[in-house]
Structure 1
């Protein structure tokens, strides 16, 4: 197989008999596998998840470029940077004594601020999602054309589910940031995101993606359970250390 052709979304790996039939490309299949590995290893608190995450977002960025979803393409750039930061944060000592970042809960103050910012951001994006992404897509195309891409400005239809789309986008960003800091709440947000995604993709007839997000929903639920247990253990260990220091 030609190396460049491997990245073509029309290079079909398998035809899946879902709905009216779904031709899954090589790049989508491999990108999906790395995405599932990323989420699974993150739920196990394994730093290697960021290696798989970097591969996943790179491959999906190529896919979104080919199908002209430039807003989501730019979101992949954010996830790429977040994966790099997460890799750094998970492997860097947080103190001179060599302590590493531990799984924990958000403080009440941080939780309140995060919730407030998320609600405002979702509200604003719901109202302005169409003009924002229309402008973003055109700016992206113009920028790519400066480097000789020779792309025509895309003709975009209004968002099919503006509120749910905005919710998934904002919560995905918040959840990714919380994951890089090892906050348990990130998995709870991924559960919400995946529930919405399963419904939205099924409603749009993209059944393969709906099934994928159902799998991710299971992994996120398992991640919630595992990290809650770890956070409880870390909290108990911290209290024991503080009591010993006082004594």
Structure 2
């Protein structure tokens, strides 16, 4: 099997007997899922190598979304790719004190600003997700066709669950940013995101993704528990060092 066959969404690894007629999981989906699970697991352990697996995961998902013509999700993977690079840098770069970035909680002011921005963003995206996505999809097709892709104009249906879809999208961006800065709240957001995703994908009949997000839910909950303890230890250490 060559690399192009491996990356083909139609190259089936296994047929999973769930849903109507089963679900043909491709090699690229399976490999991307494994990299995604490893990324989240190592992040919960505060291991910088999570960003390597994160970069591999979002690259493969970008290829998947290109093949199935989900261009907005492809763009989201580009954001995650950049966020992973920045996170890798931020986690390894020494701070002004000479130490690396420490796990901690958001202060009250940053928490309030983050909450307000998140709520407003979810509300706006819920209201405008269809026209924004339709316009974006057409622009993406035009751009790709300029490079010889030869794609037809997309025929798009309204978003099935605009509020929940918008919530997952916005909160995923916020959670990823918080993770790059080692704020504990990122895991609390991932717990919420994964709970919504489990129900959302199950409602749409994408049971494999629903199962995957169930696993991610437990990893995120464990990450929240472990990072809360790390933040507590770091705060105690800092207080003792300045006493």
Q: TM-score, normalising length from structure 1?
A: 0.97
Segments of structure 2 that go 5 or more residues without pairing to the other structure are none
Say which is worse superposed, 145-154 or 215-224, in terms of deviation. 145-154
What is the aligned-residue RMSD (CA, Å)? 0.6
After superposition, what is the alpha-carbon deviation per residue over 1:153-211, rounded to whole angstroms, capped at 9, x for unaligned?
11010000000000000000000000000000000000000000000001111111000
> Which residue in 2 is equivalent to 1:115?
115
Shift of 1:241: 0.9
**1:2 to partner: Cα distance:** 2.6
- Alignment size in residue pairs: 242
Q: Distance in 2 between matches of 1:98 and 1:116?
A: 33
- In the other structure, the counterpart of 1:17 is 17
Distance 1:140 1:183 in 2: 34
Partner of 1:103: 103
Find the aligned partners of 2:113 and 2:19 in 1 and give their Cα distance.
42
Report the equivalent of 1:142.
142
Query: Which residue in 1 is equivalent to 2:204?
Result: 204
Matched ranges for 1:210-225 at <5 A = 210-225=210-225
Matches within 5 A, 1:1-247: 1-20=1-20, 21-95=22-96, 97-243=97-243
Mapped to 2, the partners of 1:239 and 1:93 lie a distance apart of 20
Distance in 1, Cα, partners of 2:30 & 2:44: 21
CA deviations 1:41-67 (Å, max 9, x no partner) are 000000000000000000000000011
